[in-house]
Amino acid sequence: MGVPPLVAQGLSVSYGNHVVVDDVSLTLEAGTLTALVGANGAGKSTLLHLLQGRLSPSAGRVACDGMPIQSCRDRVVLMPQRGRIDWSFPITVREFVALGEIGNSSFGCCDREAALQRVGLETLATRRLDALSGGQQQRALLARTLVQPSRVLLLDEPCAAIDPPSREQLIALMRQLADSGQTLLVSNHDWGAALDLFDRVIVLDGSVVADGCPEQVRRILGRNPASQESCHE
Mean pLDDT by 10-residue block, N- to C-terminus, for the chain (233 residues)? 89 93 97 95 96 96 95 92 90 95 71 91 96 90 91 91 83 91 92 88 96 92 50 50
Exposure b/e, 121-139, CB count within 10 A at least 16 = b: beebbeebbeebeebbbbb
Q: What is the pLDDT of residue 231?
A: 61
- Whether the CA torsion 16, 20, 26, 29 is positive or negative: it is negative
Q: What is the pLDDT of residue 232?
A: 46
Q: What is the pLDDT of residue 96?
A: 95
Q: What is the rounded CA–CA span in Å between residue 143 and residue 139?
A: 6
122: DSSP letter: G
Q: What is the pLDDT of residue 108?
A: 67
- Cα separations in angstroms, 222 against 5, 216, 217, 228, 232: 31, 10, 8, 12, 18
For the chain, the structural domain boundaries read 6-226
6-226 has which fold? Rossmann fold (3.40.50)
Q: What is the pLDDT of residue 166?
A: 82
Q: How much is the pTM?
A: 0.89
